[in-house]
Structure 1
Amino acid sequence: MVLIHAARLDPPLEPDADEARRWVLDELARPEYRAAEPTAFDLAAQAIRDWIADLFSGAGGLPLPALWLVLVTLAVVLVVVGLLVFGLPRLRRRASGAVPLFDDGDVRDAATLRSAADAAARAGDWPLAIEERFRALVRGLVERELVRVHPGTTAHGMAAAAAVPFPEHAVRLEAAAADFDDVRYLARAGSAAAYEQIAELDRELAASVPELERELAETAANGVRE
């Protein structure tokens, strides 16, 4: 009797169709299977890839104007998606440019700072002219998203950051930061020569292409020539 009772408690060796279906669903509901499922982004990306592949596999039968129209439409879609994901460059530059410089709440743009520096130079106020021109130099790099301003960033810290995209100007950037500290924190008189050196450096950087962009352009040009 005991053996018969124990045998009845054992699970059936051959489950019926409903029981087998339930076991399969329970197994597929486990976390490891759920994690392996493709996301909505994966499905959308795969659909786009399949559409492009189907499009070009039959492109031989399309007239050239129609093919160009499809390519242009695809390019426009990619640009719109890029703008939605990364935002408008102009708006991003404006947002980064609004960060205060040197923890003193100064959010003026580079053009305004350069005008203020020129006005101070015409008045012979070299400490103010030097300070404003160095701020303009830094703000211009921030607006171009070549450097970032963080709380507590010093003039020498900004010079070191600017030397990354412009390594050939590292020494002059450090000298400009020293001139800025001299007139701002050490109450030194500055000079017309010091101001002109910073102004010239500011103009050169504004007209210069960062090293990385220059290398990429040269690499692309060499690839075209080859």
Structure 2
Amino acid sequence: MVPPTGRPLPTTGGAVLSALPASEDEPPLTLPRDPAREAARRELSKRMYHENDPSWFQRALNAFWDWVGKVFDAASAATPGGGLGLVVVIVAALALVGALWWRLGTPRRLPTSSTALFDDRPRSAAEHRTTAEAHAARGHWNQAVQERMRAVVRSLEERALLDVRPGRTADEAASAAGRVLPAHADRLRTAARDFDDVTYGGRSADDGTYRRLTALDEDLERTKPVLTSSAHSTVHSARRGAAE
């Protein structure tokens, strides 16, 4: 740059003159690099220069899409057929997941029979049956199945075919009753599984589940036990406990 005097502006170690001298007699004014850089940084940090900058959300979104683009490019390079091949692979994977979901249904938590079958307030088998029928009349099949299973077990306890155990689970009751009533062992296990499914497994019962359990309850009422040696000792101890 040549000033009006016709002489070039002097520099010192790469620093540029910040202003023209007031006269030829005065020494030239220079500004070192570091202060000049700091002055420029302060100037550019003013709000007026950043009014149109993207927001933090937009910057994060842009960074995310840049990352997705890099991943897609890398996957396309590694997939036969490039981008089209990658799209085919993704569509096939989604179709496989959809087919498995349709075939297996929504994943559910496996039922665990870790809680006692009965609550703290003891009730008779007749009371459980009445409550079950009331739930069934309103279409509350889960509660109806729970109460009917309790009626089944309480009835067996009242007949001294099972010993009275407040902390017994549905699985334990079905296993013990199956030894005394072997003709119904499979149905008892199914009933216990239905109880666990609606109580702990997050499943929903229906009219068929309840009617199947009701039929089992009625059949058990008419069935005489088969007293094997182990079953006989169980029934004997239950009757002795009831007498005491």
Q: State the TM-score, normalized to the length of structure 2.
A: 0.44
Which structure has the larger Rg over C-alpha atoms? 2
Q: Normalized per residue, which structure has more helix? A: 1
